[in-house]
Each structure stands twice: as structure tokens, then as C-alpha cells.
Amino acid sequence: AVHFGPMRVSKSVYGYRQKAKLTGKLLDKCELDQPMKPHSFDTCGLWLDPPSALRDALEERGDAFARGGLHAAEHLLLSLAPLAVSCSVFDLGCQCTRRKGDEHAERLLLFERISGGAGIAAELGPKLGDLLAAAHRRLLACDCGRPGGCPGCIQIARCGEYNEGLSRQACDIVLRWSLGMEWESHLPPLPAKPDAKGDGETPMLKGDASETETAERLCL
């Protein structure tokens, strides 16, 4: 079910990235000793709560896999929202960094960037099913072949996480669930477990990221 209502958005900075000026290559990620004071505003938004079966299935394949699927689905919805309602791609936002312990980290969530809201979320709610279907069609139509997607599918220019950690495969599963489609058969195999002797290592899924990823956080 689609939920709609008032919410408070808080933006916190936990760290920063150092990149080469000419090439853009990531040089380092630095955590702040203490997060900067959050900037908050009241607005309106809408969200979907994935069931525990879906959350567990995604998280069994790695926290980064779960985050990558939810965030990628939000990117698609943000990109296509102007086709469903009268708004700009800059009028809506989503959760960027999903850190351990964030209260709403497991939600598929969109909010209005306008303080107080402008009625966009309320107008979008009844059309969310069509928007989710359009998002899934775009995902399947893109033939980039990249696990982390491209600007033609799940990447957007204004991502607070710089489009890191996105997952096309996890996004497909999230969207299939949201549309009432069968999704279990599309799950990748579970990561291998270490052997009893302890000399094995659990491989990380492609696209896994550190749990201390540094970026701005958007939460409720």
C-alpha cells in the first residue's frame, strides 16, 4: 500500500570525499569526528514499506545489495515523476545514504524538497502504480549491461552518494515486488559461507560498499 503524509527531512553531513581535480578519481573518504548539525525542514512525501520477506531476502545478499536496490528504484521514480505530475526533477528527493540504524532505511521513499510541500506527493500517490510500471520498463529497456547502471536507467546527476552502490539487479527485484509480480526467482545466489576451518572468505557481491560510506544523509 502507498502511504502519504507529512514528514520532517533532516540532512546531515558525516564526512567528505577527496577526488583528483582533473580525473575525478576517488582518492580518499574521510569521516568527520562528529556529524555536522542537521538541517531540517517539514514537508510531505509518500512511501512504500517492503515486507519482511523481501527485506530479509535482500539483506541476506548483503546490506549494500539491499541499499542499492531501494536507492536505485527511488532514482528511477525521481527521473520519471515529471511524466506523471506537473513537477520538476528538482522538486522531489529521496534517501541517499542509508546508514546502520537509520529508522527509515528500509523504505522506498520520496519527499518534496519544498518546505511545507506543494501538493506534488498527494497528486503523485494515486499515480504511483503507473509510475512504478514505467520505471520497471525503463530498467528492462536499458541495455547498458552495467551492474551499477548508467544515466539511461538508475543513475541521476544529483545523487548525494554519487551513484555509488546502486544495483540494477536488486532494483529489478524491488520493482517486481512493488508491482505485485513474482520476484523470488530473480534473486541471485546467496554468498558462500566460510568453511568450518575458517580459512575461507565470504565473497562480497559486486557493488558492495563499506558500512561507513561517507556522504550526506536524508532521513526522517
- Segment 21-35, tens digit of pLDDT: 888 788 888 888 887
Going by C-alpha positions, the residue among 27, 60, 53, 38 that lies closest to residue 188 is: 60
Q: pLDDT tens digits, residue range 81-125?
A: 999 999 998 999 998 777 776 777 788 999 999 999 999 999 999
pLDDT value for 190: 84
Kindly calculate the radius of gyration of the chain based on its CA atoms and give it in whole angstroms.
18
| pLDDT for residue 204 is more than 60 | no
Note the pLDDT of residue 214: 30
Q: What are phi and psi of 18, to 5 degrees?
A: -105, 125
Cell of 71: 536507492
Residue 81: count of CB within 10 angstroms of its CB = 23
* pLDDT of amino acid 196: 52
Indicate whether this model's pTM tops 0.85. no
Nearest-CA neighbor of 216 among 20, 21, 32?
32
Mean of pLDDT over the chain? 84
pLDDT the model gives residue 80: 96
pLDDT in the model for residue 197: 56
Rounded CA gap, 139 and 85, in Å?
20
Who contacts 71 (Cβ-Cβ below 8 Å, separation ≥6)?
Answer: 94, 95, 96, 98, 161, 165, 166
pLDDT at 11 exceeding the cut of 90 = no
pLDDT in tens, 128-162: 999 999 999 999 999 999 999 999 999 999 888 88
**CA 132/CA 50 separation, integer angstroms:** 14
- Mean pLDDT across the stretch 152-176? 92
Which residues touch 40 (CB under 8 Å, ≥6 apart)? 8, 9, 10, 11
**Structure confidence by residue, pLDDT tens digits, 180-192:** 999 999 998 888 7
Nearest-angstrom CA–CA distance, 5 and 46: 6
- Contact by Cβ (8 Å): 194, 200: yes
For residue 25, what pLDDT is reported?
84
What would the DSSP string read from start to end of 25-85? -EEEEEE-SSPPPPEEEEEEEEEE---HHHHHHHHTT-HHHHHHHHHHHHHHHHHHHHHHS
What pLDDT, on the 0 to 100 scale, is given for residue 194?
A: 64
